[in-house]
Homo-oligomer: A and B are copies of this chain.
Amino acid sequence: MKKQRLSVAGRPAVRVDAIEKVSGKAFYTGDMELPGMAYAKILRSPLPHARILKVDAGKARALPGVIDVLTRDELAGLNYHYGATYKDQAVVAVDKVRYVGDPVAAVLSADELVAEEALGLIEVEYEELPFVDTVDDALAPGAPMVHEGDVPKAELRGSKYGAPDRFKGTNVCYHFGYARGDVDDGFARSDHVFEDVFRFNRVQHYSLEPHICVASFDGERLTVWSSCQDPFTLRGHLAGIFKLPLNRVRVVVPYVGGGYGGKLYVKADPIAAALSVRNGRPVKLALSVNESFKTVTRHPARIRIKTGVSKKGELVARELEVYMDTGAYADAGPRVTQKAGYRAVGPYRVANVKIDAHGVYSNTVPAGAFRGFGAVQVAWAYESQMDMIARRLGVDPLDFRLKNLLEKGEHYTPGDTPVDCDLKQGLRKVARALDWKKTSRPNVGKGLSVCMKDAGGTYKVAGATVKMSSDGSAVLLTGTVEVGQGCRTALSQVVAEELGIELGQVSVAQLDTDVTPFDVSTSASSSMTVMGLATQRAAQDVKKQLLRAAARVMGEKAGNLTLKGGRVRGAKGRGVPYSDVISDYFGSSATEIVGRGVYQDKKSKTAVLGSPTTFWEVGWGGVELEVDPDTGVIRILKYVSMADVGRAINPLQAEGQDEGGVLFGLGHTLLEEMVYEDGQLLNPNLVDYRVPAFHDLPEHFISELVESGNGPGPFGAKGMGEGGVLPAASAIAAAVEDAVGLRICDLPLSPPKVWQRLHERRQGK
């Protein structure tokens, strides 16, 4: 596909919000101040599982300065159960607490310290219950039930979520099953069958900005400023909880200091909203880092993967049993589990497949959406096993992969969109960058990995509006949240490109559900494709109107006119400035041109998930590392990441996204793990829980964008930003094995663990 010549898009433009952000002027939810605003603080459960016998807020209410206390007794009149997929979570706990951190009550005061103090005066009596804080415990026969009885389902678009009856009376809350071919027959016909179990650690998103919102109820309308990724979804949930029509709930999203999936759906907003509705004054609720750790995490997972291989080295059958620990409440767990299940086979040609993926409740922090959305856990498993099989068969893991990778145009599952890029070409590039065939020195090893996820989301809907003012400059209305990923810049580049104006002549309006066209969510690497197309179409709509006006004004055919440098150009001459075209055509500069664009996913009865994959997001990763056998420390000497971006709308940002993705991968591979002991989360803070810092960067870090114009987005773009996360863990684990001959199947590969396993091997254990 020939690359279209572009002027503004396709270039490494400086972020449009750069000056605002580096000068500290960018407005975040925390900057919001309103007259009469008060502060909410949350009392959280100290126990992993307990029945609530009593909540007495009398003493707390009596503390001078306390405006209100929200307990289960104050929920009457609300639809107080909510949830992304199941309505299993209450605004504050009603019957039981289900994890350490579960909100039990909230205090409102104009003085934050008073609110904190009052938390200690709320008297709660608990009856402790046995708990489960691992998937294994949760699945054990006779395990305590996190939720008794049926959990009501949320009204959902598209898919239905649930679990078959055979899971009744267990903690399994969701099951996704998929099979093709005959997996038993496949194994029977295989020359080698391998079965391995992998475990993925519990990690937290750690956005620089923890969860925060300001809610203000004026007597009729509820306005919420929220650090969230899906304001329209949040609006819907709040409307449901407070029994308001959608026009009476307004969600405004200022800049968001990182999301990574952790700010999707409903988090603490209903507590702030309930306090505002009760007290008729604005309420700010800002969670601490500690509290955000207790709000949402990535799903820990246990994945059993059984693979049959022919003697030619071809994959014949693959069976997957995936258990995703969704914590105390389902949140997006069923969706994540579904996607994990769907993606579990890996980018390989396997005729016989059987997948069973389960979402499992436990008495831990709820797990929800997180960059990679289920693909991270299963990629860790399927790519690790690819290396392990190759090693067992004595073949090169690169060759083994190349033999089995899907070709461009092949189907991952029948009915879905065919694979849209050359998986092998990318992997070969990574290998070359690693000098793959060259032997390393002792304790140094190499690994590589290729992972694929169906990206762009399911049943996506997005609208965009472009308003061109009479001077030719434009404002874009888009529901994509600027979470730091650079969407404002990249989408503005699309508008500027289509309209033939400079990037500085495009601004992005504040996101406000009242006025911004509907968008499902900022997730699934969808923005550059889904919102990108809506935006491009809106700009094209403006362009069409402008050309029509220009044709009249200039006396030429619209088809002969082009837009460039803020002028409409005809066959000859310097062209006419847009401002002149507009004021001549409309007879006045007191006007504007408004364009609308819409994107809507197709439905398909043959697609497994109901809607064909928008595009395939592919991440290739390769690593060379050194293991220090005396400390267990893994030093990343070189990391090569490649991302298929179709066409980079902003290469600088795309590289930044990819690098960021790799850093997330390094984090959960080498450092991060939320540690539970006796149901207690031991390290919900940045001292005991280590996220990657600058010194954790690979010593040599290559991020390369593959641009073949193969994406469905504007100018051939694909979405990106999640691909870089996927290959890290398996590539690193393989390189560790290459370096020191040690295979670790449970993340993270932290220094103590690596040292311990090496030590055990030396001890002959």
Contacts and interface: CB of A to CB of B under 8 A. Distances in A.
Interface in A430-461: 459, 461
A245 B505 contact: yes
A218 interface: yes
B33 A245 contact: no
Contact of A469 (B246, B506, B507): B246
A503 B459 CA distance: 32
Interface string A582-605: 010011111110101000100100
A26 B594 contact: no
Given A19-B220, A25-B218, A587-B603, A248 B473 contact: yes
Contacts of A512: 509-510, 512, 515
A474 B247 contact: yes
Contacts of A471: 239, 245-246
Contacts of A469: 245-247, 518
A507 B245 CA distance: 10
A158 interface: yes
Contacts of A612: none
Given A245-B504, A590-B157, A515 B515 contact: yes
B219 A590 contact: no
A587 B459 contact: yes
Q: How many copies does the complex hold?
A: 2
Contacts of A589: 155, 157, 236
A553 interface: no
A35 B20 CA distance: 14
A353 to B, nearest CB: 28
A591 B461 contact: yes
B218 A19 contact: yes
Contact of A518 (B248, B280, B592): B592
A20, A248, A467, A477 pick with most chain B CB within 10 angstroms: A467
Given A586-B600, A588-B158, A219 B25 contact: yes
A506 B221 CA distance: 11
B517 A463 contact: no
A592 B520 contact: no
Given A505-B245, A587-B459, A588-B157, A517 B218 contact: no
Contacts of A246: 469-471, 473
A587 B269 CA distance: 28
A19 B34 CA distance: 18
A232 interface: yes
Contacts of A588: 157-158, 459, 461
A524 B603 CA distance: 51
A150 interface: no
Interface string A233-268: 100100100000111101000000000000000000
B157 A507 contact: no
B517 A594 contact: yes
Interface string A463-499: 1010101111111010000000000000000000000
Contacts of A470: 246
A514 interface: yes
A591 B517 CA distance: 9
Interface in A14-70: 16, 19-20, 23, 25-27, 31, 33-35
B25 A518 contact: no
A516 interface: yes
Interface in A416-440: none
Contacts of A34: 27, 31, 33
Contact of A590 (B20, B245, B504, B518): B518
A280 B19 CA distance: 11
A386 B552 CA distance: 51
A595 to B, nearest CB: 10
Interface in A341-393: none
Contacts of A233: 590
Nearest to A244: B473
Contacts of A248: 473, 504, 507
Given A19-B218, A474-B247, A592 B515 contact: no
Nearest to A603: B587
Contacts of A245: 469, 471-473, 504-505
Nearest to A507: B247
A465 B467 CA distance: 12
A240 to B, nearest CB: 10
Given A20-B220, A33-B35, A246-B473, A514 B509 contact: yes
Contacts of A592: 463, 517-518
Contacts of A25: 216, 218-219, 280
Nearest to A252: B510
Contact of A247 (B26, B459, B475, B603): B475
Contacts of A16: 220
A238 to B, nearest CB: 13
Contacts of A520: 590
A41 to B, nearest CB: 22
A61 to B, nearest CB: 23
Contacts of A35: 31, 33
A515 B586 contact: no
A248 B26 CA distance: 15
Given A25-B219, A248-B504, 15 more contacts: A19-B218, A20-B218, A33-B33, A158-B587, A245-B469, A245-B471, A246-B469, A246-B471, A247-B475, A461-B586, A461-B591, A465-B515, A469-B518, A507-B514, A586-B600
Interface of A: 16, 19-20, 23, 25-27, 31, 33-35, 155, 157-158, 216, 218-221, 232-233, 236, 239, 245-248, 250, 280, 459, 461, 463, 465, 467, 469-475, 477, 504-507, 509-510, 512, 514-518, 520, 583, 586-592, 594, 596, 600, 603
23 contacts: A16-B220, A19-B220, A20-B220, A23-B218, A33-B34, A33-B35, A157-B588, A245-B471, A246-B470, A247-B474, A247-B475, A248-B507, A461-B586, A461-B590, A463-B594, A467-B514, A477-B514, A477-B515, A510-B514, A517-B592, A518-B590, A518-B591, A594-B596
Top 7 nearest A-B pairs (CB, nearest first) are: A247-B473, A157-B588, A19-B219, A246-B469, A245-B473, A509-B514, A518-B592
